[in-house]
Structure 1
Amino acid sequence: MNVNGLIMTLQNTVNYPVAPDLYEGKEDKYITFTYEDERSALDADNEEQQTVAYLQITLYTPPLQEYMEDKKKIKAELKKLGFCVESIQSWVDSYAPEKKRHTVFNVNITMPEN
């Protein structure tokens, strides 16, 4: 299953770059996403009919930036795109040379197998 195209549309929601796995650009606000797990969600006659993918979508922002409105917009857009938002966590990474706020959306989506 490949839902990269769906996730890439988040760029239009918050106007930040979106990249799979690792962002190597210069912006201080951006989104990355990583597939955590993919498995059969429905089988019939020994064939996979639907697949579910679990992903982490992470919004990176400066630690002092107000991020709640972006979080709200992203959550609403993910739901509109068909994702189930399981949880959202946020923390500031103080171990990196440049501190960053991580806001992680743990999501899943189920789609027919093609």
Structure 2
Amino acid sequence: MSDNKSQLRDESGALIGGLDVLEYNKGIEDFKQGVAPPDVTSTSYDLGRQRAAERAADRQSILDQIEKREQETRNRMREALTPEMFEAYEKKLAEIDAKYKK
């Protein structure tokens, strides 16, 4: 991916030129599909691909935080409950996860 930011904005930071929406969307879709970028790309394609990568990184960061908090909660519950109660707790969580997590 080339760095075409200088071609998108003037010194004031305002956008210049136009954005090719089809190329932008193609960059997003290629990133989501795991397709390597072509040898020659457009600024719009690169921008779409970059934005898709940023969104994916943001989403993964949030999922990582949720997983960390869930693990911390499970660790606290393990300490607070008897082994039998914790087993029942884990079983119920597994049922909920199976029903709602996709």
TM-score, normalised with respect to structure 1 = 0.27
Q: Where is the strand percentage greater, Structure 1 or Structure 2?
A: 1
Higher CA-based Rg: 2
Greater relative contact order (Cα 8 A, min sep 6): structure 1 or 2?
A: 1
TM-score, normalised with respect to structure 2 = 0.29
Q: Where is the helix percentage greater, Structure 1 or Structure 2?
A: 2
